[in-house]
Structure 1
Amino acid sequence: MKVGDLKTSQQVVDESQDQDPAFRAEWNRTAFARDVALRIVRYRAENGLTQTAFARMVGMTQSVIARLESGDQPPSIATLAKLSAGSGLEFEFKISHGIVEVEAA
């Protein structure tokens, strides 16, 4: 198999959502948490920070940052406020029909 023959991660997700209602439900349930996780990881990478250094900066523990970066559970508003205060990260939300989305900030 050639590298060019491999599916992208988005293609795999799209196919899984089409074929598996349980996967689709879980994917949708964790979308908000994944978006926050990606923002944290991106911020750390752009600023050359380890989880521990970032945790110190925002007044949390490394294990909390690791859990946030896993994207399994959505963070609380209080946690997002603490992240924002310590790092300058901005979070804007849209809540509609029971779905929370992070808007571009």
Structure 2
Amino acid sequence: MKVLVGAACIAVIAFVGYYFWNEYRAAQYVAAARSASAEQSLRDYEADCDVWVKALNSWKNGSPDGRADSFAKARGEVDRCLNYTVGRPWQEKNISIKYW
């Protein structure tokens, strides 16, 4: 009888360990996917910011393109980009440039 109780305890412990290990792995997978998705979103945002920088520069050069309706709108979008990307390479690359 003691052997059966011991075997049952070992089986329960093994099942609980297996269950929580799979939960942990699933949580790690979801966290990695979210991190990758967030990083991709930031790269997409920075690419959009590059387009706004080009639009602002086109206004400064006197030949505005179709993206920005006005110099003020383009400047506002570039300011938003600079504020949103604090600490990122895009912001460090563009913060020293005077766009206005």
Which of 1 and 2 has greater Rg? 2
Larger RCO, structure (CA 8 Å, separation 6 or more): 1
Which of the two has greater strand per residue?
1
User: TM-score scaled to structure 1, two decimals?
Assistant: 0.28
User: TM-score scaled to structure 2, two decimals?
Assistant: 0.29
Which of the two has greater helix per residue?
2
